[in-house]
Amino acid sequence: MKTQLELAREGVITPQMQQVATDENIDVEQICQLVGLGEIVIPVHPHRPGQRVVGIGTGLRTKVNASIGTSSDIIDIALEKRKAQIAQQEQADTLMELSTGGDLDEIRQEVLAAVDLPVGNVPLYQAFSEASRKYKNPNKLDPEYLFELIERQLDDGISFMAIHCGINRYSIERLRKQGYRYGGLVSKGGTFMVSWMEYNNCENPLYEQFDRVVGLMKKYDAVLSLGNGIRAGAIHDSHDRAQMAEMIINCELAEIGRDMGCQMMVEGPGHVPLDEIAGNIMLEKRMSGNAPYYVLGPLPADSGAGYDHITAAIGAANSARYGADLICYITPAEHLALPNEDDVREGIRATRLAARIGDIAANPARRDREKQVAIARRDTNWQEQMNLLMFPDQASRIRAERTPENQHTCTMCGDFCAMERGAILFEKDIRGDKAGCPHKASS
């Protein structure tokens, strides 16, 4: 079976490319060209024919990923299925199943059956969880089992995988020589892989046998997302030598994987101050040949726990503006607890809004909806306004709870409504929305 990338290089337009073109209102020939260049990926799976088609990459709307999964403290498959379904209802574009507690095969299969979103995961989570149960020591993981596990997860229906191929002996040495970190290591998969390498005095098998990883991914036309195992967990660690060493390696591997016919993404960067976000994305794009960038956060402050969905949304809006392609949501529970259903909902909404803010800053052609909202608000056309909002249920609930006496206004201004007063003053000048100048149009 040929991958989307290989078919695009042959000039073959697949149904998936056509669907992306339709969804994004972009010429399908352009989609095909960018897929062939590796600048757009389409996570698909041959065993999930009803899976939703999503394009990620250059020129497309910034996508949002939601992550769910059990922990060693909370194992509730029904809860994870509900969270997955909430993610789909709230219009997340992709889902990552990141369980570390319970029957991990069963949880993955149940989640895959519950939604039609492209589902990704981190195979190292299950690998080290099972090694810990079996040997009481995750460092005794057998590398051969890891490769068997990757194929088993792919065979279940996983469409993209975050695989930590970019951690190697060189990047660990950078971490040691710089005197560790203010925020430590924050990637579960990355930290366990570093521990395994140090314990066994061996190179990372995912790096050493990268061609084998690529071969497995190509077999299922899954997207290989190069995991960011040494991402910064504090803004004071942003762009330190260890992070940059892994980023350079991941960008090299993205190019190698593409040359082998595999769809590739690069992940990063974690905690990054606001003024460094544009530079981070520029570096990833430049070094990887414009491989799609899957952004984790970024969180531009370390002190916002409890509201880190807002912290991350600020970083995400800037990331989308400067060219990030897929943004992993952050929930209010980040750094504190396993997210519940409400956290999932709030995290997705904040991240979708952030992605939209970034998109309309990057591309003025995407601003028409904002203009239509403004006109409906100007004309106090509340029903039309609700129809255009991203979150009409929340807006309607707030308005209904505080119903104004004058239904044309809201209780913020009441009798002093600026919109109503302005409409009276300029009634003769308002002729609706016309291209160029909506306020002075010919009758």
At 317-334, the pLDDT tens digits run 999 999 999 999 999 999
Encode pLDDT of 171-185 as tens digits.
Answer: 999 999 999 999 999
Question: Quick check: is 394 in a domain?
Answer: yes
The more confidently predicted of residues 437 and 83 is 83
How confident is residue 435, by pLDDT bands cut at 50, 70 and 90? very low
What pLDDT, on a 0 to 100 scale, did the predictor assign at position 443? Answer: 34
**Mean pLDDT throughout 414-434?**
77
What pLDDT, on a 0 to 100 scale, did the predictor assign at position 431? Answer: 60
Distance CA(356)–CA(341), nearest Å, equals 23
Question: Quick check: is 257 in a domain?
Answer: yes
> What percentage of the chain carries pLDDT values higher than 70?
97
Distance CA(68)–CA(438), nearest Å, equals 45
Residues 256 and 341 in one domain: yes
What pLDDT, on a 0 to 100 scale, did the predictor assign at position 433? Answer: 53
**Mean pLDDT throughout 76-87?**
98
**Mean pLDDT throughout 94-100?**
97
The total number of structural domains in the chain stands at 2
Q: Which two tokens stand for residue 63?
A: 């996508």
Residues 420 and 337 in one domain: no
Question: Quick check: is 156 in a domain?
Answer: yes
Residues 319 and 404 in one domain: no
Residues 213 and 65 in one domain: yes
What pLDDT, on a 0 to 100 scale, did the predictor assign at position 442? Answer: 39
**Mean pLDDT throughout 239-267?**
98
| CATH number of the structural domain spanning residue 131 | 3.20.20.540
Question: Quick check: is 275 in a domain?
Answer: yes
Question: Quick check: is 435 in a domain?
Answer: no
Task: Tell me the residue range of the domain where 383 lies.
Answer: 379-429
> What percentage of the chain carries pLDDT values higher than 90?
89
Residues 122 and 211 in one domain: yes
Task: State yes or no: pLDDT of 343 exceeds 90.
Answer: yes
* Overall residue count recorded for the chain in this entry: 443
**Residue whose tokens read 């996983």:** 158
Distance CA(164)–CA(227), nearest Å, equals 4
**Mean pLDDT throughout 406-433?**
81
Question: Quick check: is 441 in a domain?
Answer: no
| Backbone φ, ψ for residue 136 (5° rounding) | 60, 20
Domain boundary among 362, 391, 406: 362
Residues 358 and 406 in one domain: no
Q: What is the mean pLDDT of the chain?
A: 95
Residues 340 and 406 in one domain: no
Between helix 28-37 and helix 15-24 the angle, nearest 10°, is 120
0.85 surpassed by pTM: yes
What pLDDT, on a 0 to 100 scale, did the predictor assign at position 123? Answer: 98
The most confident of 43-47, 207-211, 423-427, by mean pLDDT: 207-211
Residues 103 and 193 in one domain: yes
Task: State yes or no: pLDDT of 412 exceeds 70.
Answer: yes
**Mean pLDDT throughout 45-66?**
96
Cβ-contact 280, 300 below 8 angstroms: no
| Backbone φ, ψ for residue 87 (5° rounding) | -60, -40
The more confidently predicted of residues 165 and 435 is 165
What pLDDT, on a 0 to 100 scale, did the predictor assign at position 441? Answer: 44
Residues 172 and 269 in one domain: yes
Question: Quick check: is 312 in a domain?
Answer: yes
**Mean pLDDT throughout 66-94?**
97
Distance CA(305)–CA(198), nearest Å, equals 32
What pLDDT, on a 0 to 100 scale, did the predictor assign at position 264? Answer: 98
Sign of CA dihedral 352, 355, 357, 360: negative
Residues 254 and 191 in one domain: yes
Residues 341 and 249 in one domain: yes
**Mean pLDDT throughout 339-346?**
98
Question: Quick check: is 309 in a domain?
Answer: yes
Residues 388 and 329 in one domain: no
